[in-house]
A and B are shown apart, each in its own frame.
Chain A
Amino acid sequence: MSGIFALLNKLGILSAARRLDWREQASTADVAPSSETDGVPLEQTLFAQFEVLCREQPAYRTTRITFSSFDAASDYDVIVNGNTVAIVDGLNIAATIQAAANAINADGTVGAIVAASAEARNGATLDTLVLRGLAEADYTCTVATTSGTGVITADLDATGAVGKFFSLPSGLNSEPIWAVIPDSEFTVTTANVRDRMRVAGAERIYGRFAFTGGSGRIRFGLGIEE
């Protein structure tokens, strides 16, 4: 194919494929943008998909339990809807969370609320105890260190979020000034939200959302065409 036809063909394929290039916004703090490096660059795209995720999956609430400081001599509790499961100490994080997953799944009360699994989320080694609700409704989860110096943390899916989007106009390089995108305010439920918005003329996009009851994520998918 000649150069121009090859180019047009590639553009057509890219346009039709609609394979988005997703980028996660690093910060989900509930603050307005102020820096020209806030948010996500739009790469001169005309439209962008956005998604505000309160849950990993709408069907159930997920809790991620990790050890920011591990002490094999510590004792830990996982408390789900007020019901406590004591975690048996292991020699290391992987052994401890595997034992915890087994204990939770075997517990007649807590095992009926969540399903536990030991997962490697930040590398090849098991490092996260993941609880997934067995029903759609929210459940509560707290963790505690009952002895020793270990530090255990529970990161729950948010129960909701409220916020809006800002964009940074292109071509105002000397004074990059963020501005809210009109009609971009959303109340997000545990069902999450994903939609597209017209961003032609904007250089960057930023989501400012206040997540309640846990943590969430904000991502943008850049597309070639409409």
Chain B
Amino acid sequence: MSGIFTLLNKLGILAAARRLEWTEQTSFTVKPGSDIDGVTLGSALFATVHVQVREQPAYRTTRITFSAFDGVSGYTVTLDGGTPVALADGATIEATVNDAVQTLNDNVNSNLIIAASAEQRNGVWTLVLRGLAEPDYTCVVATSGGTGVITADLDATGATISIFTQPSGIAKPSAWGAFPNGAFTVTRDNFFERFRTAGMGRVYVQAAFIGGSGRVFCAPAIEE
């Protein structure tokens, strides 16, 4: 094929593919102030923003981890303000987490609210609770005795976000600016939207998550 057809064909394939390249924006609580804030756009004409209030809209997820483990500590999980469920101590985090799954799934109160499972994420054993219904539930964890530290990280219940962009072609440092009509309230249904970013060098999402934690991703897009 001649050069121009090869190029057009490649562009066509790229344009049609629409497979986004996502970058997680890990800092989002304050307005942008640096040339390295947010995500570079790579001259993309459009960018897609994905704000995750929940891991899945259908249920709230809680991730419980042990930042310091002590086999002699007592641990409890309290759901929706009910009776605390005591977790059996194990010799290791892995054993404790797997025992906790069994305990919570067998408990006649907790097993009406959540389904528990054990997951190893990035090498860390995690007790994962997924709501059995769509509404939010509450989850509080506590340690009694010993030096163990247990932490519950719940999906947020909502968020407010503002999109900022930084122009390209201006000598650094250049000022960030709020994207027109770029402020949104995000529910537990999450947020996935594209923005025209032609002429911009970077995009940044300022996010305030409520009632738990969430995540922010940005993806420059090839075309249209």
Binding site for B on A (CB under 8 A): 3-4, 7, 11, 31-34, 44, 46, 164, 166-167, 169-172, 175, 177-182, 198, 200-202
Contacts and interface: CB of A to CB of B under 8 A. Distances in A.
A201 B217 CA distance: 13
Contacts of A11: 12
A46 B221 CA distance: 12
A35 B1 CA distance: 43
Given A169-B22, A170-B20, A172-B22, A178 B219 contact: no
10 contacts: A32-B57, A32-B58, A34-B56, A44-B18, A169-B48, A169-B50, A169-B217, A178-B190, A200-B221, A201-B194
A46 B224 contact: yes
Contact of A34 (B1, B21, B58): B58
Interface string B41-64: 000000010111011111100000
Contact of B18 (A32, A46, A181): A46
B22 A171 contact: yes
B189 interface: yes
A44 B12 CA distance: 13
Given A32-B58, A33-B57, A178-B57, A167 B192 contact: yes
Given A177-B50, A182-B191, A171 B219 contact: yes
Nearest to B54: A177
Contacts of A44: 16-19
A171 B20 contact: yes
Nearest to A172: B22
Given A31-B134, A44-B17, A200-B224, A179 B22 contact: no
Contacts of A46: 16, 18, 224
A171 B17 CA distance: 11
A170 B21 CA distance: 9
Nearest to A47: B224
Given A7-B9, A170-B20, A177-B190, 10 more contacts: A3-B1, A31-B134, A44-B16, A169-B192, A171-B19, A171-B21, A177-B52, A180-B191, A198-B194, A200-B194
Nearest to B184: A182
B20 A4 contact: no
Nearest to B9: A4
B19 A179 contact: no
Contact of B20 (A169, A175, A179, A181): A169
CB-CB nearest 4 A-B residue pairs: A179-B190, A34-B58, A180-B189, A179-B192
Interface of B: prevailing SS? mixed
A201 B219 contact: yes
A33 B224 CA distance: 27
Interface in B1-21: 1, 5, 9, 12, 16-21
A177 B56 contact: yes
A42 B192 CA distance: 16
Contacts of A171: 19-22, 219
Contacts of A198: 194
Contacts of A177: 50, 52, 54-56, 190
Contacts of B58: 31-34, 178
B217 A4 contact: no
B134 A32 contact: yes
A3 B18 CA distance: 24
B20 A166 contact: no
Nearest to B55: A177
B190 A180 contact: yes
A34 B54 CA distance: 10
Contacts of A167: 192
A7 B9 CA distance: 10
Interface in B50-95: 50-52, 54-59
Given A33-B58, A46-B224, A172-B22, A179 B50 contact: yes
A33 B192 CA distance: 14
A18 to B, nearest CB: 16
A33 B18 contact: no
B213 interface: no
Contacts of B50: 169, 172, 177, 179
